[in-house]
Amino acid sequence: MRIFVVEDDVDLREFLVLLLLTDGHDVRAFRNGQTAAEAVVQSPPDVVLCDLKLPGLPGEEVAKAASGASPAPRVVLMSSEPARLEHSQSLAHATLRKPFGIGQLMEAMGPVPLAGPAKGRRSGRGERSRA
């Protein structure tokens, strides 16, 4: 899979990139939302793994840019702020509350649901999201 990792925390970004490369994925990393949003539109990946709190452009805006891409990638939003994740669920196929486990990450990056982000999405805590 082609995966864009959008995370301003350098340690987490590097860990995710290394993990995903080791798993055989084609990974591109971004540290700010503006650059990631432009790249998503120009060359959509299969998955966008995106922090919500980013410099320049917040993760919610990156998710909106992704929804306008063709084909639209699967969007997984990450945050340590539960209220912000809750507010952003409609923009994503899945959400991950930091800190999260590798199993939760892999589950969240699963196959893109045919119904789009608002239907059939899963949260990173293994719960079925209520749409």
pLDDT per residue as tens digits for the range 82-131: 999 999 999 999 999 999 999 999 999 986 433 344 433 333 433 333 33
Among 119, 71, 72, smallest CA distance to 94 is for: 119
Identify whether 44 is preceded by a cis peptide bond (ω within 30 of 0): no
The chain-wide mean pLDDT, for the chain, equals: 87
Return the pLDDT at 93: 95
Give the angle 2-65-109 at the CA atoms, nearest 5°. Answer: 35
Q: Which tokens hold the place of 127?
A: 């719960």
Q: Which tokens hold the place of 98?
A: 């930091």
Alpha-carbon gap, residue 113 to 124, rounded angstroms: 15
Return the pLDDT at 92: 97
Say if pTM beats, i.e. exceeds, 0.75: yes
What domains does the chain contain, in order, with CATH numbers? 2-113 (3.40.50.2300)
pLDDT at 60 over 80: yes
